[in-house]
Amino acid sequence: MHFANKTKMDIIMSLRSRPMSVTEIVRKVGREQSTVSHDLRRLSRCHILHVKQKGKQRIYSLNKKTVVPILETVEKHVRKNCPRGCNL
Amino acid sequence: MHFANKTKMDIIMSLRSRPMSVTEIVRKVGREQSTVSHDLRRLSRCHILHVKQKGKQRIYSLNKKTVVPILETVEKHVRKNCPRGCNL
DNA sequence: AGCTTTCATGAATTATAATTCATATGAAAA
DNA sequence: TTTTCATATGAATTATAATTCATGAAAGCT
């Protein structure tokens, strides 16, 4: 599943397991630091992610309270309707 | 709320109340017929909408089973986190 | 203070998606 | 069977979003 954007979706999925610093996220999703940073900002703007400073790192975490339920409903839709992939 | 795209979101919201023909949808959302038609195709491709022929009309309806739950979780997120509008 | 690490930012580019315009198709009516 | 109404489609344009590149800022080390 990758709604509109692969990078943003990868970030969200990475943070689903645990909070991570930017460097960690960059390693995980395998794209440029600035690309990731821009997406982190976009995702934070609409409160999909939270940030907290920790030394010189910034730890991003998923707003699980509201976002996980969204992911689950979407995943259910995809499983039911487009199991062979779909560009939702 | 209007995720990525206003037109598509307007279509979805219109169909939330009841199934409609293309002409009805066009009137409701107030955009060009071809624009609406393209969006209807995109939305149908990922099974967000269903279609059935009725004479020379095509009646589009929302796939309520999976889509309404998605809408509800998203709306919850928006209410909680960005009540003053947000470009989620 | 100077250096390094970590991350953010803005402007420019590139990629992707939405809209329009013109036209086609298909079903029913005349 | 021609015409009309309802809708779809493709190509071209336009709008919007994502990526890159270069640089900047802050925190912590030495």
Are A82 and B47 in contact, with CB atoms under 8 Å apart? yes
* Both structure tokens of B81: 């986190």
In this complex, the nucleotide whose C1' atom is nearest to the CA atom of residue A6 is: D18
Domain architecture of chain B: domains with CATH: 6-81 (1.10.10.10)
Residues A22-49 have pLDDT tens digits of: 999 999 999 999 999 999 999 999 999 9
Q: Which of residues 17-56 of B touch A (CB under 8 A)?
A: 45-48
Grouping H, G, I as helix, E, B as strand and the rest as coil, residue B68 is helix
Q: Please, where are the H alpha helices in chain B? A: 6-17, 22-29, 33-45, 64-81
Residues B3-39 have pLDDT tens digits of: 679 999 999 999 999 999 999 999 999 999 999 999 9
CA distance A57 to A13: 20
CA distance B71 to B64: 10
Mean pLDDT across the stretch B56-63? 98
Q: Are B70 and A67 a contacting pair at CB < 8 A?
A: no
